[in-house]
Every structure is written in C-alpha cells, then in structure tokens.
Amino acid sequence: MAPKGLDYEHLNENVKKVQYAVRGELYLRASELQKEGKKIIFTNVGNPHALGQKPLTFPRQVVALCQAPFLLDDPNVGLMFPADAIARAKHYLSLTSGGLGAYSDSRGIPGVRKEVADFLLRRDGYPSDPELIFLTDGASKGVMQILNTIIRGPNDGILVPVPQYPLYSAAISLFGGTLVPYYLEETANWGLDVNDLRNAVSQAQFKGITVRAMVIINPGNPTGQCLSEANLSEILRFCYQEGLVLLGDEVYQQNIYQDERPFISSKKVLMDMGPPYSKEVQLVSFHTVSKGYWGECGQRGGYFEMTNIPPKSVDEIYKVASIALSPNVPAQIFMGLMVNPLKPGDVSYEQFIRESKGILESLRKRARIMTDGFNSCRNVVCNFTEGAMYSFPQIRLPPKAIEAAKSAGKVPDVFYCLKLLEATGISTVPGSGFGQKEGVFHLRTTILPAEEDMPAIMESFKKFNDGFMEQYEDTRGYSRM
C-alpha cells in the first residue's frame, strides 16, 4: 500500500525530535497511578489554580460580564456585581469589535495593547509603542512565533540557559535550529557568567553555527534566581557586541520572594544604558497572565514587546500572526486587567489587594519551607527560590543508585523521581528534562501546594529520600557537587 501522510515513518523529523519533560514520563506515570486511585500531588507543572489557588475576584467578575453582556441590561446587575466591575466590563466591550465572540486584530485589541504600553511606561519609566506589542495565547505562543521567525536552519544557534524551561529546547528543535547552552552556576546561586557566554559562542562558531539570539529567563525557571541590574547590563552589552537579539522571558516578574534583588526588566536596563545600546540592541520581552498572583494558566493570555526591531521584520511577524487570525479575546481582557489593575479608592480595591497580597505572601513562606525542607535531607542541597515558582534541589545520588538506575534502563534522576512518585505520590520533573551538568542530578517541584499541606509533603519527601539514601549509600562517594 502507498504510504500515507501521517504514517509515523514519514513525519517531520523535527516533530519526532521534540522532547518536553514537564509532561513527560513522570507525568504519564503519575496520571496512571491517579487512575488506579493513588493520591497524587502534582508539583510538576506551574499551574497554581490546579493546586487550589483561588482566582482573583475582580477580573473574573469583569470577564463574566463581558462573556454574558445581557447581564449588563439586567436591572439587578448592580446587586450582583460591584460598580467598578460593571464599568470595566463596559470599557472592554467598547474596545472590542463585537464582543468576546468576535476575532480581534491579529496583534490583539488596540485598546488593550495601549493598556500594556501604559503599564510598561509606569513600570520602566520609558514610553512604549502599542504597535510593537503583540498579544498572544500565553507567552508560549509568542516565544514560538519569535523563534520561528529567527531560525532558518540547523546553523542558526540560540543561546539558552542550562538548566532551562524546556519550551526553549522543544521549540528550537521543532523549528530545526540548534540550542547553544550556557551553564548557570549552581554554587553561585545559579548566577550567569558573561565569560561563559563568550566561550559558548566561540565553541558554536567552531562547529559552523552562528548564534543569532540569546534567551534569559528572569526570574529563572527552574532555578529561581533573579538577575541583578549589573548582570543584565553585561548581558545586553554582550548582545550588542555579538549582534544577538535578546529574548527576555519575564513571565515570573511578580513572583519575587526576597528584597535584595527586586525584578528589573531588560527593557529598563537597556534604556538606562543609553545609546548606542538603547538604540541598537534588539530585544523581545514576554509576559503572561499564567503566573504571578494571577495564575490564570487556563486563560492563555500573554504579550511580547519588541524594541529596536526593524519595521519590515515587525511586518513579517504580524503577517505570520495573521495566519492564526486572532489571539483569544477573553484572555486579552485578562491581560488588560492585569496591566491596568484597580486603583486606591475603587470599590473593589481593598479586596483585590487583600487577595493578591495573600497569595504572594503565602508563596514567599512556601518558598522558604521548601528550601529549608530540602536542605534538611540527606545528600540534598538546594538554593533558595528567589523568584518564580519552583524549587530545584540537587540530589547527590550514590553510585549504587546510579548503577541500579542503569540496570533498570532509566536515567538516574528519572529513576529517583519515579521511586519518589511511587512511594509518596509527589509528582516532580527530573533535572535531566531541563539540562544539567554531566553527572549532577536534580529534580524540580513547584512551590505551589497549599501552605498548610507543605510541612506534611516535605516530611513525606524526607522520609522517602533518607530511606532511599540509606538503601543505596556506600562509602565510595557520590555524584559530584
């Protein structure tokens, strides 16, 4: 019989090459165990509402009204919804061309893009052009769109931090480019050394690869570090010298759990540097409604802002965005609400602040409980989660455990995480899914389980880990730090 278009052997090889650990082997096994009736704690995905985080009331009221505009004509609407939610719903409906059921411009609703631009001006102190802001279905779609635009083939390299969030490795292989790793230094709190970047670029050149873009994730996923202003300006200077476009993944900018290094955007640092940098360095930065105290992952709302990108390239990006017609319109409203929050004096302001502060303060406590919990375990060392939503402890696996993993046909950290899952129901992602130095092992968990459940989860982890180490330890040493 003649081969058919979707026969496996004939598929796009780039599709087959893609790996995405966050929903990989561990996740599949956890789903199986759940079906068999085991209680699973899903800490593999940064999906706050799935772990019980309540949505903020005000944005849901506004979007509910936008979804059901007939409620606005109900004489009792004022009994069901606060006045500011009603006013805001009317505002957003007036920005659409036919409500939530109509496609918007492929770059997103102009009025919402204006709200994003106003937010960026307030945040960074520099004007932002709504024409250079595109709304997307989550940050993921924006990242993919930009990588797709850059990558021409295997000789195009993208500098990506290792450990990294596998959206980058997966999208780069999907588009047929080459990931050029730069290693974050665990012993320096996952810091970034610009000399390593230079080495990474020269090594790539040696293999015939031209590095064209650099990714930073700030705050880091899975590593949780916040980049300092000095570090960011070194990175931007490096991009200037090498002619790289900087992709600034800043989706965790609200998730900060220490006061020494508050979030500072790449855009602000770039503008502060002045010319020639501020006029020359190409920057695309990404944000989302999925993270922060919003955690509205299921809504799929995001944006990217382009700085110093030539108009003809912007037109090409617009053209490609047009193929998908329009980003989700309800998600665009969430984005508008996120960047244009309530102000003191608004009827719902107090409640909004109470809810958002409550979430962030609790996350800060959970970050601390987790780091301390991991550091109290045998052969486990863990940097503090300065930002984002994850803890990324290093597990120093004894040689016997590594041998046992090999005979089970598993990568050592996958072996450890599977055993952890079977014993405790805690579903994590092995460090190998994010990249790590040879012979060093990690796992990633989110810091998202409810605060009151956290002590019991850490206790159960400790009991498993210390038992595992007891079983496999001998006197010959460990996987190295």
**Closer to ligand DCS by Cβ: residue 140 or 427:** 140
**Closer to ligand DCS by Cβ: residue 81 or 390:** 390
Beta strands in 56-209 (DSSP E): 133-136, 156-162, 178-183
Binding range to ligand DCS, per CB under 6 A, among 112-120, 122-130, 135-143, 409-417: 135-143
Please give the Cα distance from 50 to 40 (Å, whole number). Answer: 12
Site for ligand DCS in 217-236 (CB under 6 A): 217, 221
Site for ligand DCS in 155-194 (CB under 6 A): 165, 167
**Closer to ligand DCS by Cβ: residue 186 or 296:** 296
**Closer to ligand DCS by Cβ: residue 370 or 405:** 370
Q: Is 249 in the site for ligand DCS (CB under 6 A)?
A: yes
Task: State in angstroms the smallest separation of the CB of 403 from ligand DCS.
Answer: 31
How many Cα atoms occupy the beta-carbon half-sphere of 256 within 13 Å?
14
Binding range to ligand DCS, per CB under 6 A, among 72-80, 136-144, 200-208, 355-363: 136-144
Look at phi and psi of residue 312 and say left if phi exceeds 0, alpha if psi is from -120 to 50, else beta: alpha
**Closer to ligand DCS by Cβ: residue 151 or 429:** 429
On whether the CB atoms of residues 297 and 33 are closer than 8 A, the answer is no
**Closer to ligand DCS by Cβ: residue 221 or 479:** 221
> In 125-166, which residue ranges form alpha helices assigned H by DSSP?
138-150
Task: State in angstroms the smallest separation of the CB of 388 from ligand DCS.
Answer: 7
Query: In which element (H, E) is residue 248 found?
Result: strand 245-249
- Kindly state the number of chain residues that form the binding site for ligand DCS, as judged by CB under 6 A: 17
For residue 212, the SS3 value is strand
Q: Give residues with Cβ within 8 angstroms of 240, minimum separation 6.
A: 276, 277, 280, 281
Site for ligand DCS in 20-59 (CB under 6 A): 22, 45-47
**Closer to ligand DCS by Cβ: residue 222 or 398:** 222
Task: State in angstroms the smallest separation of the CB of 224 from ligand DCS.
Answer: 11
Q: Which of 138, 224, 373, 433 lies at the binding interface for ligand DCS (CB under 6 A)? A: 138
**Helix 83-95 / helix 329-339 crossing angle, nearest 10 deg:** 120
Distance (Å) of CA 249 to CA 27, 97, 137, 413: 25, 31, 15, 27
On whether the CB atoms of residues 145 and 174 are closer than 8 A, the answer is no
For residue 233, the SS3 value is helix
**Closer to ligand DCS by Cβ: residue 217 or 244:** 217
Binding range to ligand DCS, per CB under 6 A, among 118-126, 138-146, 196-204, 260-268: 138-146
Site for ligand DCS in 263-322 (CB under 6 A): 288, 290, 297, 302
Measured from each CB, the residue nearest to ligand DCS is 138
Look at phi and psi of residue 176 and say left if phi exceeds 0, alpha if psi is from -120 to 50, else beta: left
Please give the Cα distance from 391 to 457 (Å, whole number). Answer: 14
Contacts with ligand DCS by CB under 6 A lie at 22, 45-47, 138-140, 165, 167, 217, 221, 249, 251, 288, 290, 297, 302
